[in-house]
């Protein structure tokens, strides 16, 4: 299969969000795709995260998720997405945070060492509860990924201007043209 982890796929600004964003187009079940459904891609993620994730330097080299931990890790991923997506939309329920904390605890317990994707993702997910301020977290207007907006005036709409910003611009142009062409 022709797939590679590109810098764009690490647009979240935090490791936990990059992990959550391994599911493409969550809001569109027909086109949605789970990059971690392929074990090799999940293994490769740990290899490139130290250099491509914004938090990479903080965590350094990390071992891939142990096969026995995969299910718990994917559970953590879903808990990250559910809690932070709901918090960003202002609809977080107390239970979502509890589930996230349980999932991080489970992954910290299972992690073979501090230098593992399980451990690094759990720590990143915990840090995001307070840091940076919650209003820095956003949902990309084009692809639905979670990302941190660290810009000075918190003005970002897109996870990645070069990809999603341009796509949105092209869409707007397309729709305008269609309107103009109407008889
Ligand atoms: Zn995007």
> What is the whole-number distance in angstroms between the Cα of residue 183 and the centre of ligand 1?
34
CB 146 within 8 A of CB 23: no
> What is the whole-number distance in angstroms between the Cα of residue 111 and the centre of ligand 1?
30
Query: 1 lies in a domain?
Result: no
Question: Mean pLDDT in runs of 10 for the chain (183 residues)?
Answer: 90 98 93 96 97 94 98 98 97 95 98 98 97 94 96 94 86 70 61
Query: 2 lies in a domain?
Result: no
| Ion ligand 1: protein residues whose beta carbon lies under 5 Å | 140, 142-143, 145, 159, 164
**Three-state DSSP class for residue 113:** coil
CB 109 within 8 A of CB 54: no
Query: 85 lies in a domain?
Result: yes
Q: What is the C-alpha to C-alpha distance for residues 38 and 23, in angstroms, rounded to an integer? A: 12
> What is the whole-number distance in angstroms between the Cα of residue 109 and the centre of ligand 1?
33
Query: 146 lies in a domain?
Result: yes
CATH number at residue 118: 1.10.3300
**Three-state DSSP class for residue 173:** helix
> What is the whole-number distance in angstroms between the Cα of residue 125 and the centre of ligand 1?
20
Q: Which of 102, 97, 13, 19 is nearest to 58 (CA)?
A: 13
Domain span at residue 64 reads 7-181
pLDDT at 2: 81
Q: What is the C-alpha to C-alpha distance for residues 38 and 132, in angstroms, rounded to an integer? A: 32
> What is the whole-number distance in angstroms between the Cα of residue 167 and the centre of ligand 1?
9
Query: 133 lies in a domain?
Result: yes
Q: How many residues does the chain have?
A: 183
Query: How many domains does the structure of the chain reveal?
Result: 1
> What is the whole-number distance in angstroms between the Cα of residue 11 and the centre of ligand 1?
8
Q: Give pTM, 2 decimals.
A: 0.92
Query: 169 lies in a domain?
Result: yes
> What is the whole-number distance in angstroms between the Cα of residue 112 and the centre of ligand 1?
33
pLDDT at 137: 97
Query: 139 lies in a domain?
Result: yes
């Amino acid at each position: 299969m022709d797939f590679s982890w590109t810098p764009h796929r690490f647009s979240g600004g935090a490791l936990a969000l990059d992990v959550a964003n391994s599911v493409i187009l969550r809001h569109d079940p027909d086109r949605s795709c789970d990059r971690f459904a392929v074990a090799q891609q999940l293994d490769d993620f740990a290899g490139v995260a130290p250099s491509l994730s914004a938090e990479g330097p903080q965590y350094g080299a990390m071992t891939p998720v142990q096969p026995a931990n995969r299910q718990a890790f994917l559970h953590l991923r879903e808990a990250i997405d559910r809690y932070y997506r709901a918090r960003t939309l202002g609809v977080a329920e107390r239970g979502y945070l509890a589930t996230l904390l349980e999932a991080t605890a489970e992954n910290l317990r299972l992690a073979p060492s501090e230098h593992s994707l399980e451990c690094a993702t759990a720590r990143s997910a915990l840090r995001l509860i307070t840091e940076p301020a919650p209003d820095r977290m956003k949902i990309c207007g084009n692809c639905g990924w979670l990302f941190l907006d660290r810009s000075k005036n918190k003005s970002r709409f897109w996870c990645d201007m070069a990809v999603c910003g341009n796509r949105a611009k092209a869409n707007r142009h397309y729709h305008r043209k269609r309107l103009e062409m109407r008889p």
